[in-house]
Chains A and B, each alone.
Chain A
Amino acid sequence: MYKAFFNLLKRDLRLAFRHKSEILNPLFFFVIVVTLFPLGISPEKQMLAEIGPGIIWVAALLAAMLSLDSLFRSDFEDGTLELMLLSEYPLSVLILAKIVAHWLITGFPIIIFSPLLGTVMFLSNDAIETLMITLLLGTPILSLIGAIGMALVVALKRGGMLLSLLVLPLYIPVLIFSSNAVGSSMAGLSISGQLYFLAAFLLFSLTLAPVAASAALRVSLE
């Protein structure tokens, strides 16, 4: 079972490296959106530091959502998803491998680039550190929750709008607690409460999302 998990993970990463746009698109989107704000609003330090945490997190959230389509779509279209459903291994384990691969492809590069964007937005060093921690806890949640939504709409031709309707309400707690944590650490306040919440939410979605997503996939592939 571990072998099946790691082999599927390896396959998805290999596919992503053959299709570099899958890695680069969300990352470019993230970087471009964040760098446009200083140009559009004002390059003043005070202003940017205030709105920075929220903007970076909103951009990360949208980047994650836009990349969800790649999670199951291509596997659905060429029929490999059907073969996964017919595997002797539990579907939730295979789905988890796909989610982990998706996070490594889309979430992880965003975390790597976030200090740079934090500097652009004049965040303090503490705040950048907090930003990275919240992204590290938060982006896996986005991939996990997104997998449930994507599993429900994968069989629809144009499920994009429906997907955002399904998934965005569940993303909002992550957004609120994360940007609040970054803002608080800018102001020198304690952030442990927000981080505990994010960690709890991560564990919750890590245990339940693969099961929910695999049940949803079985329904939508009927």
Chain B
Amino acid sequence: MTINNQSEQGLSVQHLTCERGYRELFNNLSFQLSPGEILHIKGENGAGKTSLLRIIAGLALPVCGEITLDGYNTRKYRSEYNEKLAFMGHKAGIKLELTAVENIRSHCDLASGRSQQQIMDTLEKVGLYGFEEMYCNQLSAGQKRRVALAQIILSQTRLWILDEPFTSLDVIAVDFFLELIQEHVCQGGMVLLTTHQEVTLKNCTIKYLQLPAGRFSSS
């Protein structure tokens, strides 16, 4: 095992290369994210934003490169890393046959559990008061997203990885979500997100990462 600098805080990505179907999406990508920072990943369709997030979350393998959190390799310390990570992908991770509360409960059970009261409070916070016991297939797309949002909040993790989190959310919900992100970051959290909207937040450091354009648009 290599000796890492343990005092190093935050997420560090070194020399990452990703291929998708024999096409190189990006190569030698390196960046650093410290606690209290947001990274907004930009790029055209097909530039590899989702692939990058999935690699960082540990769901996909890069061709080469290394990802460390607080100096620890995330692949070697998978369980410790997952403890600090909340992921929201294109698929919301909601079971349609379960109610909102049951969904959140079963998600929380995958980590250290939360009390019923906490779940109810969070549901109220995301504006689903009165919908707790409804089956999720009766909820609208935006409401399902809000359930997923409640899962992220309840995870109480440091690193949020959000892939297009604002899809099908209304203006109020987007504002509320941004406020939450701000609050999370102010408490020393880190957020990685992709979105095609402009993200404007006060008193936060937003870093931007522009992924190289997809092959077909440059030719």
A residues contacting B by CB (< 8 A) are: 3-4, 7-8, 11, 14-15, 18-19, 74, 77-80, 82-90, 94, 221-222
| B81 nearest CB across to chain A (Å) | 9
**A interface secondary structure, majority:** helix
B residues contacting A by CB (< 8 A) are: 54, 57-61, 79-80, 82-83, 85, 87, 89-98, 102, 105-107, 109-113
| B97 nearest CB across to chain A (Å) | 5
Q: Which listed residue, A14, A74, A83, A222, touches B110 by the CB 8 Å rule?
A: A83
**A8-B106, A83-B87 known; A222-B59 Cβ under 8 A:** yes
B96: chain A residues at CB < 8 Å are: 78
Q: Which listed residue, A74, A79, A80, A86, touches B58 by the CB 8 Å rule?
A: A86
9 chain-A/chain-B pairs, Cβ below 8 angstroms: A11-B106, A78-B91, A79-B91, A79-B93, A80-B93, A83-B107, A86-B82, A86-B85, A88-B80
Count A/B pairs, Cβ under 8 Å.
Answer: 79
Q: B102, A14: Cβ atoms under 8 Å? A: yes
Q: Which listed residue, A4, A86, A94, touches B87 by the CB 8 Å rule?
A: A86
**A3-B113, A7-B109, A87-B82 known; A14-B98 Cβ under 8 A:** yes
**B interface secondary structure, majority:** loop
A11: chain B residues at CB < 8 Å are: 95, 98, 102, 106, 109
B102: chain A residues at CB < 8 Å are: 11, 14
